[in-house]
Structure 1
Amino acid sequence: MAFHEVRFPADLSFGSVGGPERRTDIVQLTSGFEERNTPWAHSRRRYDAGLGLRSLDDVEKLIAFFEARQGQLFGFRWKDWADFKSCKPSRSPEAGDQVIAHGDGETRSFQLTKTYRSGEGAYARPITKPVAGSVVAAVQDVEQREGVHFELDTDTGIITFVEPPLEGVEISAGFEFDVPVRFDTDRINVSVASFRAGQVPDVPVVEVRV
């Protein structure tokens, strides 16, 4: 897939509106009951980048970024200010934030994940675009050092240990991350007069599978 490992300007994404989207198929039965199913294993996020624009300089920056991505052609990184850490937004990531796997004595590579829990429900989200320099990890609560004990592929979110963790040990990680997205339009309409009057263009952005 065509993807540029560059982040949409974070000062423009701040103030945008968006969040996760699910797809649910609902069949209404003659009895009044429902059958519900989903073809999606993972949620997909959508945003409106236009709401983060505050000046004509911001518009110019947006257009430059849009043109460099050739509209919908190339994907890019997006900072979701409401959800960009392995921990609470008020905290800094720590090595024990997220349990990502358990060792089997052979496997060295593991996908970063973030688990969302509420009551008895839980959803493990693959993290494919971690922020370089933000990832910390631990094996059975013993902190590991990047470049010494493990290597990180920031393009895929896969962490690879020098030595395979022993069978049954807990592997955890903390990190910041971006969302892989693309523009969901090939056109941006901007009116300088209406923008100065407080109206901003619609700039839809949608998450892509990588």
Structure 2
Amino acid sequence: MKTLHNKALLRIGDEHATTRHEVIRETALIIKNEHVRTRNILQEILLILQHVLAPLTILVILTLRLCVSSQQIYNVLLEMRSARLLDTRWTFFQAPYVFKDALGRVYPIPSEFDFDLIRTIIKGRFWQKPGYRQVLLADYELLTTRDTRQVISANTYLWPDATISMAIVLNTPSTGTDCCPISGCRSTRCENRQEGGKLCLQCLV
């Protein structure tokens, strides 16, 4: 009787052990399946993030480039604003001559021009103006303003930015009524010069 009881206990113990083992095995299988499922979900999320992050990365790069370009444009505008304004008074390679003709007009003549070109400009400026006949006959003199006793000729070297004055030569004899041809002077106090022409005693032209 005791032996039967022991066998029953052993059988019950084996059944409990088997049941416990089955529970553990099934639980482990469930955990494994959940782990696999979780890993698959994470892989899918990673793929989605990669597809999303790639355009975002490109967008960030383009935004940075746009910011850099905008900053460069802004810097250029600042440089242009602070840069010294160009002198647009003339477009010559060097400062022109300042020419004052016998009518009192002042205008520039390029310092690259020679004596013949200067005379051509004078002829054009006096077209249909008082003194045009004297200009055609070359009855005038060109003088340096700093020293009106220095008559300019084809052999005279002038520095750029030199000031040239023009005086029309009167060949008629002096009757006391002759006057200086320089506009604004018109003095009648003139005397003949040894080298030809006349000298105004008032403005020394």
**TM-score over 0.5 for the alignment?**
no
Please give the TM-score of this superposition, normalised by the length of structure 2: 0.21
Q: If each structure's strand is expressed as a fraction of its own residues, which one has the higher value? A: 1
Higher relative contact order (CA closer than 8 Å, sequence separation 6+): 1
Rg larger for:
2
